[in-house]
Amino acid sequence: MAGDALLIAAFSGRAVAQSARRAGYVPLVADAFGDTDTREASLAVRVVAGTAANGFRTRPLLAALEDLAAASPVPPIGLVLGSGFEDKPRLVEALSARYRLIGMPAPTITSLKDPDVFFPVLDALGVAHPLTTSVVPENGDGWLSKRIGGSGGRHIRILTGAGHTRSRHYFQHRLEGERYSIGALLNADNGRFWTTRQWIAPSSKQPFRYGGAVSSPVINSEVEMELTDSARRVAAHFRLLGMVSFDFIVTEGAPQLLEVNARPGAALEVLDDDFGTQIAGHVDAFMPDKNGRAHEAIAPQQSRAAAILHADHGALVLGEVPWPEWSADRGTAGTAVPAGAPLATATAVAANAQQAESLVRARLAQLADLIYGHAKPG
């Protein structure tokens, strides 16, 4: 493995590491899991203890990154942050003081996640969004509670009756509709935009848990233009660079922007190519001296889907699983997985979005049978 070394920190660093390796970088990953396919894609991996349960903490993460940097044959060119930092601006500040941050700075992340900043900006830009307030509704019927900086939908709760004030939460009117995301790759001169369709995998305790995504969905062209136009305006206002995802719900043909994540996100799995264009473009956006490494993305001829398998059949301890080639986030034998936690990922490629989604959903069931069939009770 040869090329520039790249530090990566994310709740799960596997997809970023794989994209970085395809782009010719040497990935050095700090994450919560240390899955086998993350290790295969990386020069070195450090599992940050306690992150899966409690999120990243400053000292353990800094220690892991310092250890990774010391293990690298060449000094890392910078640090890419994935999920897990949306509610930790102080940690982002601490990291940016030690490493060249290949991503948006803490003040921008804070502005995107602060409902008292973000949604008034959308109003000024004329970008539609669900009715949102930081004040608990007197009658919670029809409202959702969301944690500021939450991700993956696990933090969203349905309010019923009289609401209750919760620290660092805001409240949003509940809408029904199709979920789309605009994945963007932005630099100082231009931007490229792709549409994905997302779905949820609800459980009794987490009714809006993220389920999966598929690329190249069938969508009304006017609606898609409106989604992309809204993303452009928001990106320009906040001066966003690199990989960014804009999550919408389309209700009765009208797009409503829910949130923006200025980092490599879940769509990376279905939007990347054999050249690692997504991460290469992300690096190039923040490091113009690396310009030329990124390839121009070719319009995909097939649709890609990825879906998360959750441990909904109960807690378990992973055994020696004969992982299918279409599986990802492959945990090591002996790993304890709590009930309801992310267990693995299924992927699929097909001629169109409908076929890709159908195939990946079928593979979820196959993967569940395979993992539980080789597991020990948790």
**Helices 106-113, 221-238: inter-axial angle, 10-degree rounding:** 130
pLDDT for the residue numbered 168: 85
Q: Give 215's strand partners.
A: 196
H/E element, 46: strand 44-47
pLDDT of 277 reads 94
What integer pLDDT is reported at residue 298 of this predicted model?
57
Task: Name the DSSP letter for residue 101.
Answer: B
Q: What averages of pLDDT result for each successive group of 10 residues across the chain (378 residues)?
A: 88 97 97 97 96 92 98 96 94 97 97 96 98 88 88 83 72 95 93 96 92 97 98 98 98 96 94 94 89 57 94 96 98 95 97 98 97 88
pLDDT at site 291: 54
Buried b (16+ CB within 10 A) or exposed e, 223-256: bbebbbebbbebbeebebbbbbbbbbbbeeeebb
Number of Cβ atoms within 10 Å of the Cβ of 160: 11
Q: What's the pLDDT score for residue 183? A: 97
Q: Residue 325: which residues within 8 A CB-CB, separation 6 or more?
A: none
| Predicted pLDDT at 296 | 62
- What local confidence, expressed as pLDDT, does residue 140 receive? 82
Give the gyration radius of the chain's Cα atoms: 20
Which residue ranges form the domains of the chain, and what is each CATH number?
5-103 (3.40.50.20), 110-261 (3.30.470.20), 303-377 (no CATH)
The pLDDT score that the predictor gives to residue 292 is 52
Of the candidates 304, 306, 346, 314, the one whose C-alpha atom is nearest the C-alpha of residue 328 is: 346
Q: Is 289 exposed, middle or buried (0-12, 13-18, 19+ CB in 10 A)?
A: exposed
pTM: 0.94
